[in-house]
């Protein structure tokens, strides 16, 4: 659903809406404050103050246009009332991500590094296999993810590659895009207007409810968020992988046993 925009021209400071009045705006509407040139030098200060005061809102201070855009984000109550829905979405995300990834691995005849899948998929970035098609899906390897888009339904999912065999990491932006592009979820039981900002609030509230939890990744100082009710898998840390690779390299660098040299030394 597209939001309607209410525009207020600000020619004097007295025309700036109070925090109390802004809190009453509906999620279906955007409030746009357009500042007169004489007040534009105070616009950023006013915007920063609104950011501090308006918890649960997105306050956008435009860098070029003389305006501030204010949007109410999904509320704690809306998330709590729909927690079963978001939990189901998270479980489906995990299942579909795993299914598509292994389908691609088999299709391309890849030898998957189960401890660190990114190593396997990074090699695809060096040739023409970085993008392609598999059945009804178009795929694209990028960053820490392999993205998939269904050619028929337009469903979108980004499968993480830095959590071992855990493919259910719920990046807030990718998670909400998955929800909004999945036909069987439509119409949504609750509107998601801001893909990233609403996604962050959904994840944070679901963690507080015990439905989601944080996990560490293969990459240092990087974590993910997954559904709590799942079959847990081991995720090796950056330190564990580093140690593992060093041990493997030592094995590779060991001189091969020379049987004939051994015989000569015995003589």
Candidate from 1-10, 61-70, 149-158 with smallest mean pLDDT: 1-10
Secondary structure tally for the chain: helices H, strands E: 9, 10
* Residue 175 to residue 198: CA distance in whole angstroms: 10
In our burial notation (b when 16+ CB lie closer than 10 A, e otherwise), range 151-165 reads eeeebbbbbbbbbbe
In degrees, rounded to 5, the angle at the alpha carbon of residue 217 between the alpha carbons of residues 216 and 218 is: 135
Going from the C-alpha of 172 to that of each of 118, 178, 220, 265, the distances in angstroms are: 20, 10, 20, 65
pLDDT digits (tens, 9 = 90+) for 61-85: 999 999 999 999 999 999 999 999 9
* Residue 25 to residue 6: CA distance in whole angstroms: 10
Q: Is 38 exposed, middle or buried (0-12, 13-18, 19+ CB in 10 A)?
A: exposed
For 124, other C-beta atoms within 10 Å of its C-beta total 19
11-16: long-range pairs with CB below 8 Å, 24+: 11/36, 11/38, 11/39, 12/39, 13/39, 13/42, 16/46
Q: Is the dihedral of CA 49, 52, 58, 64 positive or negative?
A: positive
Nearest to 215 by CA among 233, 239, 197, 200: 233
pLDDT digits (tens, 9 = 90+) for 18-63: 999 999 999 999 999 999 999 999 999 999 999 999 999 999 999 9
Per-residue pLDDT at 257 exceeds 70: no
pLDDT digits (tens, 9 = 90+) for 127-147: 899 999 999 999 999 999 999
For 246, other C-beta atoms within 10 Å of its C-beta total 9
Would you place residue 245 in the very low, low, confident or very high pLDDT band (cuts 50, 70, 90)?
Answer: confident
DSSP 172-191: HHHHHHHHHH-GGGPSPSS-
What confidence score (pLDDT) does residue 169 get? 98
pLDDT digits (tens, 9 = 90+) for 171-212: 999 999 999 999 999 999 999 999 999 999 999 999 999 999
Percentages helix, strand, coil for the chain, rounded to the nearest 5? 45, 20, 35
């Amino acid at each position: 659903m597209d939001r309607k925009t209410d525009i207020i021209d600000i020619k004097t400071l007295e025309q700036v809406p109070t925090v109390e009045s802004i809190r009453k705006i509906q999620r279906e509407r955007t409030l746009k404050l357009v500042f007169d040139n004489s007040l534009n030098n105070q616009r950023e200060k006013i915007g920063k103050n609104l950011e501090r005061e308006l918890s649960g809102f997105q306050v956008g201070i435009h860098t070029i246009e003389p305006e501030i855009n204010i949007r109410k984000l999904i509320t704690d109550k809306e998330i709590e009332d729909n927690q079963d829905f978001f939990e189901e979405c998270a479980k489906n995300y995990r299942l579909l991500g795993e299914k598509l990834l292994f389908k691609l691995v088999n299709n391309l005849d890849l030898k998957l590094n189960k401890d660190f899948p990114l190593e396997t998929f990074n090699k695809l970035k060096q040739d023409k296999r970085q993008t392609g098609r598999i059945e009804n899906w178009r795929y694209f390897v990028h960053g820490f993810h392999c993205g998939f888009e269904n050619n028929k339904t337009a469903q979108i999912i980004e499968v993480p590659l830095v959590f071992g065999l855990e493919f259910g990491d719920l990046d807030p932006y990718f998670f909400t895009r998955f929800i909004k592009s999945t036909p069987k979820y439509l119409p949504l039981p609750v509107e998601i207007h801001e893909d990233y900002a609403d996604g962050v609030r959904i994840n944070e509230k679901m963690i507080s409810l015990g439905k989601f939890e944080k996990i560490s990744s293969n990459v240092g100082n990087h974590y993910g968020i997954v559904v709590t009710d799942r079959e847990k898998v081991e995720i090796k840390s950056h330190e564990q992988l580093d140690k593992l690779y060093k041990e493997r390299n030592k094995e590779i660098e060991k001189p091969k046993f020379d049987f004939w040299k051994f015989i000569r030394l015995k003589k």
